[in-house]
Amino acid sequence: MIKKILIANRGEIACRVIRTARKLGYRTVAVFSEADAQAPHVSLADEAVCIGAAPAAESYLKVEALLDACRKTGANAIHPGYGFLSENAGFAQACADAGVIFIGPSPEAIRVMGDKAGAKKEMIKAGVPTAPGYLGADQNDETLIAEGKRLGFPLLVKAVSGGGGRGMRLVHQADELQQAITSARREAQSAFGDGTLMLERLVLDGRHIEIQVFADSHGNAVYIGERDCTAQRRRQKVIEESPSPVVSPAMREAMGRDAVLAAKAINYCGAGTIEYIVDQELNYYFLEMNTRLQVEHPVTEMISGLDLVEWQLRVAAGQPLPLKQDQITLSGHAIEARLYTEDPYAGFAPQTGLINWWRPALALFDGVRIDDGIVEGGTVTPHYDPMVAKLIVHGRDRDDAIRRLIATLDDAPLLGLKHNARFLRDLVDHERFRAGTMTTTLIDQWLIDNESILQRPVAPDEAWLVAAAVFAARQQSLDAGIAAPALRADSVTGFDVPLQCDATKRTLRVQGHRQGRFDVSPSTKAAPHAMRLISHGADQLGDATRGGVLRYELDAVQRRVIAVWCGEELHLVQDAAVFVFSEVSAWPDAGNAVDPSRALAPVAGTVAQVLVKAGDVVTEGQPLLSIEAMKMEMWLSAQAPGVIKAVYAQTGEQVQAKTLLIDIELTATKES
C-alpha cells in the first residue's frame, strides 16, 4: 500500500505529480539540488530533502541519495516523472530491492524497451511494423559505416539507450557518417553511460505520431488515442496535439491495436507510449517505446478528461485500470506548446538567467492549462532541460485550439531571458501547421534556409511610441521626486527620448501634458500621435513600481499590453514577442565589439570538447571547442587566423557565459 510518495524529479513534472498525489490524499516528498533550493516543487511538497550539488549527476541521478531520502522521510513509493532516472532499469530494481514501490513498469520491461535495438527486435517478433535498420552487436566504426551505406541515406544514427534526442544524429550522405557516429557515441556515453548505437533508415517527410497505452497487473491494457508530435527541432518536440490532423478513425484503431499488442508482448504495467514514424502514404513504423509518462501527456488528459498520474498511482497500488477500452471517449482538440528558454533567432541557443516576470494566472481561462516549474525571481540555470513550462489548450475543434493557444502565448509572457514564445505563436499560425502538413525535419530546414519565421521580430512603431511615453512618464515622475513611476506628467515642455531595441536606435519626440497625456512623434520631425497612459500595473497582479498590465489610449483607441521595468530596461510584450527598450547613453559603448583574439563562452554550460592547445595554428572558421548546455552542443570557432596563445578551459569544466576560454594571437596581415 502506498503511504507517502517521493517525486524523484524537479520542475513542472514534480509540481504536476504533487498536485494529483495531494488530490488523492497522499503526502509527498520533494527532492532538490542545491541549485533548486527555492524551486516551486520544493515548497509545494509536504517535505523536501536536498540530495546534492547542481549537476544532475551529483543530485537527481544519484540513486542512493534518492533512496536515502525515502528512508529519512518514510516515503515508500517513488514517482520518477520523466527524464533523469525514469527509464533506468537499474533504478527501478534498486527501488524494488529497497522495498520502495516504483511508480512505473517493471525493471525487465524498462530494460527490454530501453534498448532501442532490442525493443525493435521484440516488436518484429510481435508483428508490429518497424523501419529498416541495423541492430547488430558489432559496434566497430567500419561496420557501422558499411551498414549505413547499405541502408542508404538519409538515415539516423541513434543511441540504443536513453531518449529525448540525445545521442541521435541525422546523416544525409556518406561523408557525414563518421563524424555522426563519433558525436552520437560520445553524447550517449555522457548522457546514459552507454555508447552503443543503432542505425535506422529515415522516413522522408515523415510524421511523428504516438499512442498512449496503459496496462495493469491484472492483464488489462488499453490505448487512449494518439498524439501528433511532428513539429520538432533537432528531434526535440516543440508542439504536440491530439487528435492528429492526418489520422482517421480506422488508422487510430490499427495503431492503437498494435500499441496494446506491443505492451502485452513484454508484460507491461503502467503508463507507456508507443512512438511511430508515419510516411507520406500513412504507413506507420515502430520507433520506440517510452516506459514512462510523456511530457505531452496533458493533451491526452484534455481530450479524454482523465488524470493519467492518478491512473499511474492506482495501478502502482495494485488496482485494475479504471476504464475498459470501450468506455474511453475522446472529445475536442488539444494542443501543447513547450516554452523553452532558448533563442530561436540565434540558432536556438540556450538561455540562462533571472526570471523577472512570470504570472501565468493572467492567461488562465476555460480550456487553458499551464504546467510550470518556475517562479518569478527564480533563476534558470544551465544544468537542466531548457523547457520551463507547458501551455496546453482545449477547444471544440482544431481551429478553436489554435486560436486559444495564440491568445495564451500572448497573455502569459516570460520576462528576463530570451525564449521561444513568439516562435511558437508563429508556428501554430503558419500555413504548414494549419494545413497539417508539417514534417519532423521542416523546422530544421527552415533554419537552414533562413526562413522568415526564424527572423527576429522587429518592434512595430506602436511599441516604440508606447515605450517613449512610459520612459517619459517615468522620467518626469523622478524629476518631480516621486519614487514610483506615476502616470501623470506635469511638464508641458517637449523633449527627445533616445531609445534602443536590439540593434535599432530611434529618437522620439515627446510633448507632455496633464493626466498622463502625451503627444509622441516616431521621430523628431514626424507628426505626433495622441497618447494617454491610463493605468500601469494597477490590477491585483501588477506592481506600481515595476509596471505590469499597461492600459493606454493611442489615437482614440484603448489597448492593453504588458510592460515591465527590469532595472533601467522596459520589457514590452506584443504578440508574444518581448521587446526590450533602453535609453541610449550619450557615451559610446565599446563593450559589444567582437574581439577575434578572445574566444568567449557563448552560454553558461559544460566544456564538452577542446580541440586545440597552446601553439596550434588555426584558420578562420576552425572549430576550437564545444560547450554543452541544456541538451545542446554548441561550437566555438576561430573568428580570424592566428596562433593559440593559451587555453583556459578543460573538458568537463563548468563555465559561465562570456567567460574567456581561449586567447589567440592573430596573424598579421600584410598591407598591399
Report, as residue numbers or ranges, the catalytic residues. Answer: 292
| Residues 475, 217: Cα–Cα separation, whole Å | 68
In angstroms, the CA 169 to CA 183 distance is 8
Helix (H, G, I), strand (E, B) or coil at 68: helix
For residues 157 and 166, is the Cβ–Cβ distance under 8 A?
no
DSSP for 433-481, written as a single string: HHTT---TTHHHHHHHHT-GGGSPP---HHHHHHHHHHHHHHHHHHHTT
Other Cβ atoms closer than 10 A to 329: 11
Does residue 243 have a cis peptide bond before it, meaning omega lies within 30 degrees of 0?
A: yes
Cα 502–chain centre separation:
24
Q: In the beta sheet, which residues pair with residue 665?
A: 643
* Residues 156/180, Cβ–Cβ less than 8 Å: no
Three-state SS at 110? helix
Confirm if 21 and 42 have CB atoms less than 8 A apart: no
Dihedral of alpha carbons 271, 273, 274, 280, sign: positive
The gap from C-alpha 430 to its chain's centroid, in whole angstroms, comes to: 20
Q: Rounded to whole angstroms, how far apart are CA atoms 658 and 611?
A: 19
* Residues composing the chain: 672
Whether the Cβ atoms of residue 578 and residue 564 lie closer than 8 Å to each other: no
Q: Rounded to whole angstroms, how far apart are CA atoms 258 and 123?
A: 10
User: 660-666 and 569-574 as β-strands: parallel, antiparallel, unpaired?
Assistant: unpaired
Q: How far apart are CA 288 and CA 639, in angstroms?
A: 41
Q: Are 627 and 605 in contact (CB under 8 A)?
A: yes
Q: Using omega within 30 degrees of 0 as the cis cutoff, is the peptide bond preceding 457 cis?
A: no
Closest CA to 394 of 338, 336, 340: 336
Please report, for residues 295, 583, 659, the alpha-carbon distance to residue 240 in angstroms, rounded to integers and kept in the order given: 10, 40, 37
φ/ψ of 500, rounded to 5, equals -135, 135
453 DSSP assignment: G
Query: Grid coordinates in use for 593?
Result: 565589439
Q: Could you tell me which residues are beta bridge partners of residue 50?
A: 32
Contact of 285 with 130, CB cutoff 8 Å:
yes
452, three cell numbers:
522568415
Distance CA 223, CA 304 (A): 11
- The whole-angstrom separation of Cα 472 and Cα 466 is 10
Nearest 5°: CA angle at 180, between 177 and 183? 150
SS3 658: coil
Closest to 232 measured CA to CA, from 7, 391, 424: 424
